[in-house]
């Protein structure tokens, strides 16, 4: 199984900040890495697929890229509605594992 290690587990930031969340894969894989945002009591929402492709309707302040085994989610100019928990997931090979999540707090 591919293990995904997210860091940091939690992050404090302010409106207007730029934050980066990293997801490290335990083995080499194609860039089939997805990022989701989840708010309390809600289903996850797809933000980024294939490491760097922005899902339709997602604001452009969200972006993703790959650097070797690391996949990075960047959120520029944080908005109040961005405070949530973020998960990465690989869809390269089954089981399609998730990272442990990063809670973004004010």
Partner 1 sequence: QVTLQESGPALVKPTQTLTLTCSFSGFSLSSDGMRVSWVRQPPGKALEWLGRIDWDDERFYSTSLRTRLTISKGTSKNQVVLTMTNLDQADTGTYYCARSPGSRYGSDFWGQGTHVTVSS
Q: Which residues bind partner 1 (CB under 8 A)?
A: 1, 32, 34, 36, 38, 43-46, 48-50, 55, 87, 89, 91-92, 94-101
Q: Minimal distance in Å, beta carbon 11 to partner 1?
A: 16
Whole-number Å distance between alpha carbons of 21 and 32: 17
- Please state the separation of Cα 17 from the chain's center in Å: 17
Instruction: Name the residue with tokens 């194609």.
Output: 30
**Which of residues 49 and 62 has its CB atom nearest to partner 1 in the complex?**
49
What single-letter DSSP state applies at residue 42? S
**Which of residues 13 and 54 has its CB atom nearest to partner 1 in the complex?**
54
Q: Minimal distance in Å, beta carbon 91 to partner 1?
A: 5
**Which of residues 48 and 72 has its CB atom nearest to partner 1 in the complex?**
48
Q: Minimal distance in Å, beta carbon 16 to partner 1?
A: 28
Structure tokens at 52: 């760097």
Contact partners, residue 25, CB within 8 Å, separation at least 6: 2, 3, 4, 33, 69, 70, 71, 90
Q: Minimal distance in Å, beta carbon 105 to partner 1?
A: 15
């Amino acid at each position: 199984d591919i293990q995904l290690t997210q860091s940091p587990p939690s992050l404090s930031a302010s409106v207007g900040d730029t934050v980066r969340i990293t997801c490290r894969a335990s083995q080499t894989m194609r860039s089939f890495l997805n990022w989701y945002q989840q708010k309390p009591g809600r289903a996850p929402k797809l933000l980024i697929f294939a490491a760097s492709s922005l899902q339709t309707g997602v604001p452009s302040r969200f972006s993703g890229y790959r650097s070797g085994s690391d996949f990075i989610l960047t959120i520029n100019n944080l908005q109040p509605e961005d405070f949530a928990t973020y998960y990465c997931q690989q869809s390269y090979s089954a089981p399609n594992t998730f990272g442990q999540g990063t809670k973004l707090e004010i």
